[in-house]
Amino acid sequence: MNLDNQLTELNAELPSEHQLQSFTTEELKKSFQASLGVSVKLFEHMANVWRELDRRGENMDEFRKGAMLYIEMIANKRLMAELAFKYVGQRGLLNALANLPLRLQSKLAKDDVVDVVTNNNGEAQSEKLKLSEIPAHQLSRVFRDGAIRSVSEQKELIKRSVNIKAKTRPRTIKKVEVQDNALVVGRTRIDIDSALAALSEHYGVDIKGLIQNDA
């Protein structure tokens, strides 16, 4: 039996809303858990189909929108299907996770928590948050390309961002260069990740995630 027939039969066998009313609570829980597993498998299947069509030279541009963007990430081995399904709709978070190696993604899929440092009236405080609870403007502080920042690294970013805000004297910048992941302004070097973290916190937007998504 081919997969198309299996999917057709699966759809035909799914209980209707009316039929679900006769299920026990335990049966509903089991059905829900089973559905989650099937949904992740379907994401993986769609990614495999995408990869094969792309290999054959098919133009996939019409599908590069909405949730299909995550299917492409799965197809390119950038994102785990489980994470894509679990956090669909959380664009900034998924973009951040896609920059992590799959082994680390697998760990996060199980643990679902990370240390997050916040700036509370000038005092850096850390707490464990679920991935879905991380504010969008703090994603660039928690995650960096290929890794999760430690508590000490996040505190250092906060310290740098506070120092940047503390500079009140206006200055006209005529030339800015980029060298080795740093902005060079005259004789001053500013770490790009630190600058993005400060700007993200100030404006309440994950600027780095937006840049990567548009790239």
Give the pLDDT confidence of 142-200 residue by residue, as tens digits: 998 889 999 999 999 888 876 666 555 566 777 788 888 888 887 788 888 888 888 88
- So what's the pLDDT on residue 108? 95
- So what's the pLDDT on residue 6? 62
- So what's the pLDDT on residue 151? 94
The tokens for 168 are: 């009140």
- Taking phi over 0 as left and psi of -120 to 50 as alpha, with beta for the rest, 122 belongs to left
Is the pTM higher than 0.85? The answer reads no
Residue 23, C-beta contacts closer than 8 angstroms, at least 6 positions apart: 15, 31
Alpha helices in 25-150 (DSSP H): 25-55, 68-75, 81-86, 91-97, 102-111, 139-142
Those residues of the chain that have pLDDT short of 50 are 1
- Which value, in Å, is the radius of gyration of the alpha carbons in the chain? 22
- So what's the pLDDT on residue 12? 59
SS3 183: strand
| Distances in whole angstroms, Cα of residue 39 to Cα of each of 43, 50, 98, 102, 165 | 6, 16, 19, 20, 46
